[in-house]
Amino acid sequence: MNFDLTDDQRLLVDTVTSFVKKESPVERFRKLRDDEEGVGWSRDVMRKFGELGWLAVPFSEDDGGLGGSMVDVALILEQLGAALAPEPFLASIVLGGLAIAHAGDAAQRARWLPDVIAGDKTLAFAHLEEGSRYDAHHVSTRAERTGTGFRLTGRKRWVLNGHAADAIVVVARTSGDVGAREGISLFVVDRGAPGVQITTVRTMDGHRAAMIALDGVEVGAESLLGTEGAALPIVERVLDGATAAACAEGLGLMTQSLQRTRDYLVDREQFGVKIGTFQALQHRAVDMFVETELTRGTTILAALRADDPDPLQRMRGVSVAKVQLARGGRYVVQQAIQLHGGIGITDEADVGLYFKRMHVLESLFGDEDWHLSRVSSPG
């Protein structure tokens, strides 16, 4: 048992921390958010991430990656979360990128991954549907065989980075009824393919996402990733990895929310004294600290288990962490606003931005109830 970071990991954390400190203050996110013309994130910064090697971390060396672990990814995302950096690391690398890496053949990986790792292109992963809730096997989008490939028809909701991605990895059904575990396949669909309708939508945290309609989209056989009809285990693995990554980003949000609240308590005066002397507020801050520390532990659990070859171990570790994030994370961001008082309600205060991002992370990849039911499943 060992929780120490390796020298390489420590270096990685230092590099990310000092980069975001210099290049990505929270103000940068605000500007991107408020720019109605933009996509909500910076292509230049995404390319910088690529130059620094961060986008290569979880991919194998054969694919031009660094062969890193989900722990390495978590370390990056914790710091990106702390800085509210809006670049689509989660969508393009942990979701779309790893889906292609796990499911794709050599040609497909070579076709997409180098550009994604460089930050020149980005991906999205379209899995949620009306009525699917969080169940990966609830897929009604159909992919029918044509003479040369497949024809995709269906609607996907809340596709992260779907508004900006160059290509979208789509979960579609090649056989079976909605809800069947068999018959699920993965396709890479070019954003410009005829019949792809992308509607940009706003999300609570000031990011954008997409609602995507696939209206008889014709794709070639080469866009099918892996074995037809057998993609569900990969989809679940990818979503568990993304859940672990979301926990890490959430941990960064919690750490910052606590830090800023602590600084405010030390600084703000009322009744002629620092408000941090009040025991009611001290104890609330300690409760925030406790939840943050518990989340630090469960995030490590999730990141380690996300790479576990045993799916039951993986699901359990990831779900425990997501439940802790849902409960502890929500508590911390809510109390950060409360302890800031009225200023915490203004858009000008950063705590509100952390609050919003936390709520988005909580609603992604399974909420507390969904993960609780997974923890309590037999097996």
Partner 1 sequence: MDLSFSPEELAFRDEVREWIRTAMPPRLRAIAEVDGHFGVDETMEWHRILHRKGWVAPHWPRKFGGPGLDVTRRFILTEELELSGAPQLLPFGLSMVGPLIMQFGDEAQQARYLPKILSGEEKWCQGYSEPNAGSDLAAVRLTAEDAGDHFVLNGQKTWTTYAQYADWIFLLARTDTGAKKQAGISFLLCDMKSEGVRVRPTLTIGGTHAFCDTFFEDVRVPKENLVGPLHGGWTLAKALLGHERTLVAAVGSSARTLLRAKRIAQSTTRGGRPLADDPVVRAKIARMECRLEALKMANYRALAGAKQGHAPGAESSILKLCGSEIIQGMYELCLDLMGADALTWMNEPGVVPAWEDWVGPNYNYLRAATIYAGSNEIQKNIIAKLILGLPS
**Contact residues for partner 1, defined by CB under 8 A:** 1-5, 71, 262, 265-266, 274, 276-277, 279, 282-283, 285-287, 289-290, 293-298, 300-301, 303-304, 319-320, 323-324, 328, 369, 372-373, 375-376
Closest by CA to 251, choosing from 293, 204, 283, is 293
Question: Minimum Å distance from CB 286 to partner 1?
Answer: 4
Nearest to 363, CA basis, from 322, 306, 321: 322
Q: What minimum distance in Å lies between the beta carbon of 199 and partner 1?
A: 35
- Residue whose CB is less far from partner 1, 324 or 335: 324
Residue 191: other Cβ atoms inside 10 A: 17
Nearest approach in angstroms of CB 251 to partner 1 is: 12
Contacts of 359 (CB under 8 A, 6+ apart): 204, 205, 330, 333
Q: Using the minimum distance from each CB to partner 1, give the nearer residue, 38 or 297.
A: 297
Name, in order, each residue with C-beta under 8 angstroms of 343's C-beta and a sequence gap of 6 or more.
Answer: 349
Q: Least Å distance between CB 340 and partner 1?
A: 15
Q: Give the nearest distance from C-beta 323 to partner 1 in angstroms.
A: 4
Smallest CA-to-CA distance from 198 within 167, 239, 236, 223 is with: 167
**Minimum Å distance from CB 335 to partner 1?**
13
Between 59 and 264, name the residue whose CB sits nearer to partner 1.
264
Give whole-number Cα distances, 160 to 125, 154, 228, in Å.
7, 17, 25
DSSP code, position 53: T
Q: Which amino acid is at 295?
A: T
Q: Which is nearer to partner 1, 69 or 203 (CB)?
A: 69
C-beta closer to partner 1: residue 75 or 164 = 75
Closer to partner 1 by CB, 47 or 268: give it: 268
- Nearest one of 96, 374, 106, 116 to 210, comparing CA atoms: 96
* β-pair partners for 206: none
Between 210 and 339, CB nearer to partner 1? 339
- What residues does 159 pair with on adjacent strands? 210
Shortest CB 321 distance to partner 1, Å: 8
Question: In whole angstroms, what is the distance from residue 188 CA to residue 110 CA?
Answer: 13
